[in-house]
Amino acid sequence: MEATVLMSTLSLIPPWVDQPMVAATAVTDLLWPHTTPADGVQHMYARPGAGGIDVAIFTLAVDQSVADITAYVVCLRALDRIPALRSWQVLRRSR
């Protein structure tokens, strides 16, 4: 099966409503260092969303489920390693 670039959408949600928001433009800068070549991430986009930050991650993958899992793992990895985001949650978005 040949790999193609696929888009996965997720939301990064802060633990409480009054928490200072991280600028959506900064989120991709925060996520990139936590990707690996094996992740196959080609591009990211973030924008403010309802109650958090919506993220689209474009991944080179053999199918959508692999792309979705990879995007989810990249976000979890980053949240685990970035103290300011450690208590945030990653929500997978349905299509």
Q: What is the pLDDT of residues 10-20, one digit of tens each?
A: 999 988 766 66
CATH of 4-92, one of 1.10.3470, 1.20.120, 3.30.70, 3.40.50: 3.30.70
CB 7 within 8 A of CB 58: yes
Predicted local distance difference test score (pLDDT) of residue 68: 96
Q: Which residues contact 45 (CB under 8 A, 6 or more apart)?
A: 28, 55, 56
Predicted local distance difference test score (pLDDT) of residue 17: 63
Read off the pTM: 0.89
Q: What is the pLDDT of residues 26-55, one digit of tens each?
A: 899 999 999 999 999 999 999 998 888 999
Domain ranges of the chain: 4-92
| Tokens found for residue 49 | 């969303």
65: buried, middle or exposed (CB in 10 Å: 19+, 13-18, 0-12)? exposed
